[in-house]
């Protein structure tokens, strides 16, 4: 997505349309920032799950929303943001990338003009596949039924599954707030 924005920026600037090129560059840079925020949130969520359960296999998890409600909420925010759903930050940068692709009619070159809608279709496909993957992950790990696994559902130290600690939650919370703020107030940054 970032490279699509940069690529369209170069194409538009190269063909003498700096305003459309600037839009593509803004989309790419904003998606870079957004990606850093929501991907960090998802990694922290995954680390909290690993720390609390000791499990790495998604199919061994289930029902974690009852034992880890804070982590479940923050992970949901990250999953929605990476899936580009409004009002979160992933939506804004993907929308700007789509808006850049919709500027294709101003190009004189027919080949390039016809390729940009294919880039937009690729972007839509990537967004749909991302949403599908995160629906599966969230559904299995948090909303699914607890699994009967050969390993008891306990942390490596032998403690029952617990939610993330205060500092872990703080780390996830400020990133979740970042996803929301970057989605609601994109022109402020």
pTM above 0.95, yes or no: no
Per-residue model confidence as pLDDT tens digits over 125-180 = 999 999 999 999 999 999 988 876 544 444 445 547 778 788 999 999 999 999 99
Mean pLDDT, range 79-97, rounded to an integer:
95
Per-residue model confidence as pLDDT tens digits over 93-132 = 999 999 999 998 898 888 888 888 888 898 899 999 999 9
Quick one: what percent of the chain has pLDDT higher than 90? Answer: 66
Token pair recorded at residue 104: 């294709």
CA atoms within a 13 Å half-sphere pointing along the CA-CB vector of 80: 16
């Amino acid at each position: 997505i970032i490279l699509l924005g940069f690529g369209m920026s170069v194409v538009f600037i190269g063909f003498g349309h700096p305003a459309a090129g600037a839009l593509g560059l803004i989309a790419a840079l904003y998606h870079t920032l957004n990606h850093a925020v929501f991907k960090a949130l998802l990694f922290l969520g995954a680390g909290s799950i690993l720390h609390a359960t000791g499990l790495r296999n998604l199919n061994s998890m289930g029902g974690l929303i009852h034992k880890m409600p804070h982590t479940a909420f923050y992970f949901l925010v990250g999953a929605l943001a990476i899936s580009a759903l409004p009002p979160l930050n992933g939506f804004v940068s993907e929308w700007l990338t789509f808006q850049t692709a919709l500027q294709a009619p101003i190009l004189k070159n027919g080949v390039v003009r016809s390729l940009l809608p294919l880039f937009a279709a690729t972007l839509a496909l990537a967004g749909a596949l991302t949403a599908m993957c995160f629906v599966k992950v969230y559904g299995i790990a948090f909303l699914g039924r607890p699994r009967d696994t050969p390993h008891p559902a306990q942390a490596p130290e032998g403690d029952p599954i617990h939610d993330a600690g205060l500092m872990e939650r703080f780390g996830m919370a400020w990133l979740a707030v970042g996803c929301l703020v970057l989605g609601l107030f994109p022109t402020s940054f």
